[in-house]
Every structure is written in structure tokens, then in C-alpha cells.
Amino acid sequence: GQNIDQPTEMTATEGAIVQINCTYQTSGFNGLFWYQQHAGEAPTFLSYNVLDGLEEKGRFSSFLSRSKGYSYLLLKELQMKDSASYLCAVDNDYKLSFGAGTTVTVRA
Amino acid sequence: EAQVTQNPRYLITVTGKKLTVTCSQNMNHEYMSWYRQDPGLGLRQIYYSMNVEVTDKGDVPEGYKVSRKEKRNFPLILESPSPNQTSLYFCASSPPPQNKNTGELFFGEGSRLTVL
């Protein structure tokens, strides 16, 4: 079976940094996605990690440790528009398993 | 404009009345998939298709059927809907998989289905 865990909610202040953790136990692994989903909208792609290490893309960075079954998404210089749900998903031979998502609320 | 289009966006129906949710993409993507999203459970994959005439079950296929007769279309069929299929449904597509990776998914806007 697939088990993907991430915190349910996080709150942070505008301009701050927030780290969203994701741990996984899956029957296979090809890579790990992070998606952003605003309320009432479709998810949009943020990052995809295949190899261990940190990948930076503007204000967002994603880290992967395959040996630990662990990833995190780092959001820097938080803006109000970053208030959304962040979804971690494990890619296993064309099958995608998502975590339940982490709702991030950015306060002024 | 590159997009994934789902129809209908909203539907209220009754138990047992067959329905189809259509999904069409104009990006010539080979991979397409269907998900349902429920509070507290996140997105769960229903079915996926790697190419025309090739479909496979995801994690929650029970009560659903799909077909992939053309590359651009991937309809989701509920032969006999039940209240537990009330959910928000998303269709998604991605470029040809490489090295068994799905690639970035492009999602449709979602179809909110209520079964009474």
C-alpha cells in the first residue's frame, strides 16, 4: 500500500519562511511531485524531484531524501497569494499517490 | 491555448442514473488520468491511460469505467452512480512518460458531482 503523510495545516506570517514536510512509504518510487492548489481550483505543478538533494526554483525549493522516504517544500518570502493547499505526490510507474495536502495560511 | 477541458463542471444526479464526465486535451499528451478529491483524503487516482487503447486501474477504480479510443479524449463513466461517488473529479494529462515518470500533470478545472 501507499502511505504519504504531511501536516494538515500550517500558518505563517507574510515575508516569513515555511517548510512543509512529506514522508512516504510506498511500494515503489520514481519521483516526488509538489503541487499547489488554491481553493476551488485545479492543482498546479511546483516541482518534481527524482534524485536526492535540494532543487531551487525562485521562492520555492524542494528537497528529497530517498533513503529516508522524506521530502520537504520550502516557501520563502511568503506572500498572501501563497495561501493555498500544497500536495505531495509519489510517482510509481505512472501511478500517482497523493498525500491529503497541507493548507498554508499566510497572515499579514 | 493549451488546456484540459472537463464537462460538466457541476452535476447533480440520482442513484443509478448512468453518467459520463468527458475530458479532452489539446496538447497531444499520451498520458491521461482521472482523480477524485475528497476532504481529508486528498487526490486519489481512479484510472490512468498511457496511450490510445491502453488503460489501467489506479487506487480507487471500483464503480468507474474509462475508455481511450482517441488520444485527446478520456471519458470517465459511472454506470450506476451511488452517493459515495459524490466528489470533486479532476482529469489530468502529461507529456510522454520517460523513465517511468509521469511528467508534470496538467489538470482540468474539475467536475463537482453530487449523487442523491
CA distances (Å), origin A102, targets A4, A63, B91: 12, 16, 21
- Check A87 against B42: CB less than 8 A apart: yes
What is the per-residue pLDDT across B3-52, written as a single tens digit (0 to 9) for each? 999 999 999 999 999 999 999 999 999 999 999 999 888 899 999 999 99
Residues in chain A: 108
- Check A31 against B101: CB less than 8 A apart: yes
Could you identify the residue written with the cell 468527458? B22
Determine contact: B51 vs chain A, CB below 8 A.
no
Q: Find out whether B101 and A30 touch, Cβ atoms under 8 Å.
A: yes
Determine contact: B110 vs chain A, CB below 8 A.
yes
What is the per-residue pLDDT across A35-86, written as a single tens digit (0 to 9) for each? 999 998 999 999 999 999 999 989 999 999 999 999 999 999 999 999 999 9
Q: What is the 3-state secondary structure (H, E, C) of A32-76?
A: EEEEEECCCCCCEEEEEECCCEEEEECCEEEEEECCCCEEEEEEC
- Check A2 against B59: CB less than 8 A apart: yes
Residues in chain B: 116
